Chains A and B, each alone.
Chain A
Amino acid sequence: ILNVEQSPQSLHVQEGDSTNFTCSFPSSNFYALHWYRWETAKSPEALFVMTLNGDEKKKGRISATLNTKEGYSYLYIKGSQPEDSATYLCASTVPSSFGNEKLTFGTGTRLTIIP
């Protein structure tokens, strides 16, 4: 995998159901994986930053896991609520001559919660 890829592109989930989606990233030269939540007409907000293989982070009903050896991360939302409707972006750091300071973003998973 050369780029950061997210699937599915969009998702409709019934309120109360749980859901998950995937981020795939280049596993070579991995440094960090970020998840952001982006509501319409707002700016992206950081959810998680993960660096270690096997990392699992949790914030309320949202959690994320990381597999750096195979290059994927899952984001889980338990008991979806209407306020979870947003685009979820993942991003991976890209090493450069300066260091590991750049992020490459996926195109996002657009989640819509149906009341």
Chain B
Amino acid sequence: NAGVTQTPKFRVLKTGQSMTLLCAQDMNHEYMYWYRQDPGMGLRLIHYSVGEGTTAKGEVPDGYNVSRLKKQNFLLGLESAAPSQTSVYFCASSYSLGRENYGYTFGSGTRLTVV
């Protein structure tokens, strides 16, 4: 019972490099999310998906792209990394945030440093 798995756990990038963060869930959740966590800012939503093949922008989408080709995977891409993207990235998934009373299941995070 893996839950939500994020890879990699740590990465150092040079400015201008690209990379993809992978989030995989084995709970058959419909909804998946990418958040970034910065000191004093709390969790801020980057992009999210309400189902396979769908994506939508969150609060801070600039500089990131996402894809949800398979229900269980949600990829976050940085095309040209910038130092401002240094952060801890969390993926989360859920069945629904309606009255079914399910919360998010979070991955363990990816610590990204852009130098």
A residues bordering B, Cβ < 8 Å? 31-32, 34, 36, 42-49, 51, 89, 91, 93, 96, 98-108
Contacts and interface: CB of A to CB of B under 8 A. Distances in A.
A36 B106 CA distance: 10
Contacts of B31: 101
Given A44-B43, A89-B42, A105-B43, 15 more contacts: A31-B97, A34-B103, A44-B90, A46-B104, A48-B103, A49-B101, A51-B99, A91-B43, A93-B97, A96-B56, A98-B56, A99-B98, A100-B98, A101-B97, A105-B42
A101 B103 contact: no
A101 B50 contact: yes
Contacts of B48: 101-102
A100 B40 CA distance: 26
A111 to B, nearest CB: 16
Contacts of A31: 97-98
A107 B56 contact: no
A43 B107 contact: yes
Contacts of A91: 43
B50 A99 contact: yes
Contacts of A46: 103-105
A34 B33 CA distance: 16
B40 A44 contact: no
B104 A44 contact: yes
Interface string B85-115: 0000010001011110111111111000000
Given A43-B107, A43-B108, A46-B105, A102 B42 contact: no
A70 to B, nearest CB: 21
A63 to B, nearest CB: 16
B50 A103 contact: no
A98 B98 contact: no
Contact of B50 (A43, A48, A98): A98
